[in-house]
A and B are shown apart, each in its own frame.
Chain A
Amino acid sequence: MAKVTIKVNGKNHTKTVEDRTLLVNFLRDELGLTGTHVGCDTSQCGCCTVHINGRAVKSCTVLAAQVNGANVVTIEGMAKGSKLHPIQQAFSECHGLQCGFCTPGMIMATAGLLKDNPNPTDEDIYKGLEGNLCRCTGYINIVKAVKRSAKLLRGKAR
C-alpha cells in the first residue's frame, strides 16, 4: 500500500491506496470527485484530463503514487463558487457540448492549450485538442468555444 498526499483543487488529501491505483480512480473513488470521467481507459479519449503541476495529463495513465506531493486541478476546481470559469462559460454559451461526457476533459485540455497559446488559430486548436474525443458535436462548437474562451481570458470579449 502507498500513503499518498496530493493537493487537489487547493486542498491536501492524504490516503492510503494500493500502489497500482490510478490517479483517476483516486480522484473519483477516494475523493468523490466524479467530474473527471473515465471514457476509454486507454489514454486516447482525454475525458480524464486533469492538470498536474500546471500541465494537462490523462489521469487514467498516471499512478496516484507518482503524483504524491503534486498539485492537481480537476474540473471541480475551475469554477469559483457559482461563478463559472471563463472556459466553462464559453462552452455553455457556444453550445460546445451535447451529452457532456467529454466536456470536463475538453475544458481541462483547453485550459492547457490556452496556457501555452493564449490566441490559437483553428489549426492550433485542432492540434491542441488532438488528445480529446467528442462523439456528439462534430467539434465545430468546441472550436468556437475555445476561441471564445481565449477572448474571455484575454479580457477582450464583448
Chain B
Amino acid sequence: MYALNYVKAKSVKEAAEFLSKHSEAKLLAGGMTLLPTLKMRLARPTHLVDIGALAELRKIEAKGGKLVIGAGAKHHDVATSAVVKKAIPALAGLAFAIGDPQVRNQGTIGGSVANNDPAADYPAAVLGLGATVVTTKREIAAEKFFQGLFTTALDAGEIIVRVEFPLPKRAAYSKFHHPASGYAMAGVFIAQAVDGVRVAVTGAGPGVFRWKQAEAALAKGLKPDAIEGVKLDYREFNNDIHADREYRANLVRVMAKRALAKLSGKK
C-alpha cells in the first residue's frame, strides 16, 4: 500500500466537505474491496476518509411501505436484522450469502453498491427490487444508478446515505457462488413487485442487468418452467478463467429456476 493520510469523519456532512476539497481522497467504509485494492497498489488516494463507524449510517427501519437500510449497515447487520427478515427475507438471505463471516462483519451495503462489482450480490437486489439509492445530493433510481463494470451514477464526492427498498409481494435470490471468492458466478434476483415481475442478474455480464424477456414470460405466472426457452442474450457475458459465457448463460437459467422454486415453495 502506498503511503496515505487517514481521516476519521465525524459526520457524513464532514466527509462530504472533505471530499469536495480533496479530489484524490477516497471514502473508506468496511474496506473489504478498497483495502485489498490499495494493497495491490491499484489505487493511490491521498486520503482515506473513514465513514465506517458513523452511527447515522447504520440505521435499518421499515417505514412508509419501504425498507430503509443505512449505507453503513454491515452485511451481518442486514443478514440478522429482524426488520429485514420480516420485510424482505430474500434480502437478509442474500446478505448472509456474501463472502464469509469475517467479511460480513466488516463490509457494508453502501460500499458494495458504490463499488458495483459485476459479481457483487447487492446490486441484484437493488435493481431487482427497484430500490432507490439516496445520496448526499439526490435520489437515484436503481436503473439509473448502475452503469456497468464498476461504474455508477455517483459524482465525485457524492456519498450514499441509504438505500430504500419498496416492499415486494414476494422475492427470492439464488446464486452460484465462486467456491474461492464467494462472489456470484451468476446470481438471479426475482421480485414480484406491486407493478409487476422484475428479474435482475448479477455475476454473468459486465454489470447487473434486468432480464426483460424473463420478466415478460413470468408476468403470466411465477413458475420455474416459464423460463424454458426464454431468450437470453449472452454475447456480452463474462468469459474468463472461472467460466465461459455459455456456461454462465446456463447458470443464469438454473439460478432463475431455483429462485422461482423458492418462490413457489412456502413463501
Q: Which residue numbers of A lie inside 8 Å of B, CB to CB?
A: 2, 18-20, 22, 41-44, 46, 49, 55-58, 61-63, 65-66, 68, 109, 112-113, 116, 128, 130-132
Residues from chain A with a CB closer than 8 A to the CB of B32 are: 43, 61
**A109 proximity list for chain B (CB < 8 A):** 101-102
Residues of the A chain whose Cβ atoms lie less than 8 Å from the Cβ of B248: none
**B residues in contact with A44, CB < 8 Å:** 180-181
Is A61 in contact with B3, judged by CB distance below 8 angstroms?
Answer: no
Q: Which of B2, B5, B180 has the most CB of A within 10 A?
A: B5
> Interface residues of A: mostly helix, strand, loop or mixed?
mixed
Residue of B nearest to A51 (CB): B105
Contact: B52 with A42, CB < 8 Å?
no
Seed contacts A43-B32, A109-B101; 8 additional CB < 8 Å A-B pairs: A20-B2, A22-B35, A57-B102, A63-B28, A65-B6, A65-B8, A66-B53, A109-B102
A113 contact from B5, B76, B99, B101, Cβ within 8 A: B101
Q: Is B221 an interface residue (CB 8 A)?
A: no
Query: Shortest beta-carbon distance, A138 to chain B, in Å?
Result: 16
Question: Which size bracket describes the interface of B in this complex?
Answer: 20 to 34
* A41 in contact with B39 given A55-B76, A63-B31 (CB within 8 Å): yes
Q: In this assembly, does B50 line the interface, its C-beta being within 8 Å of a C-beta of chain A?
A: yes
Residue of B nearest to A108 (CB): B102
Contact of B28 among A41, A66, A131 (CB under 8 A): A66
- Chain A minimum-CB-distance residue to B5: A19
Determine whether the beta carbon of A68 is less than 8 Å from that of B35: no
- Residue of B3, B4, B102, B103 with most partner-chain A CB within 10 A: B102
Report the bound CA distance from A43 to B180 in whole Å.
Answer: 11
Whether A131 and B99, one on each chain, are in contact in the complex, defined by CB atoms closer than 8 angstroms, is yes
Task: Pull 8 A–B residue pairs with CB atoms less than 8 Å apart, ordered by A.
Answer: A19-B3, A43-B103, A44-B181, A56-B102, A61-B31, A66-B28, A66-B50, A68-B8
A63: contacting residue among B2, B35, B101, CB under 8 A? B35
If A42-B36, A56-B101 touch, whether A130 touches B182 (CB-CB below 8 Å) is yes
